[in-house]
């Protein structure tokens, strides 16, 4: 059951990455980089959220590591 939120957060992170690349190419050399910085902030924040979800899930026993 925990896989669904993890996959959703990961997809939103990838979407924010794509959005940031779009803003980087569209805004080019302009001084207004607010949209690019906002996309980067969202991506970093969601990455921390995903990390803590994974950490919490591991400590609560919802996910288990396995060998190769």
Render pLDDT for 22-51 as a digit per residue (tens, 0 to 9): 888 887 666 667 888 888 899 999 999 999
Contacts of 39 (CB under 8 A, 6+ apart): 16, 17, 19, 20, 23
Distance CA 16, CA 46 (A): 9
% of the chain with per-residue pLDDT over 70: 93
Distance CA 59, CA 3 (A): 15
**Mean pLDDT calculated for residue range 9-32:** 84
| Predicted local distance difference test score (pLDDT) of residue 27 | 72
| Predicted local distance difference test score (pLDDT) of residue 25 | 84
Give Cα separations from 56 to 1, 12, 26, 34, 52 (angstroms).
14, 20, 38, 33, 6
Taking 90 as the threshold, does the pLDDT of residue 52 lie above it? yes
| Predicted local distance difference test score (pLDDT) of residue 32 | 65
């Amino acid at each position: 059951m925990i896989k669904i939120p993890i996959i959703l957060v990961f997809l939103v992170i990838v979407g924010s990455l794509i959005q940031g690349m779009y803003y980087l190419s569209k805004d080019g050399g302009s001084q207004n980089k607010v949209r690019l910085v906002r996309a980067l902030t969202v991506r970093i924040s969601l990455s921390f959220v995903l990390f803590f979800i994974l950490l919490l899930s591991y400590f609560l026993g919802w996910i288990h590591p396995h060998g190769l």
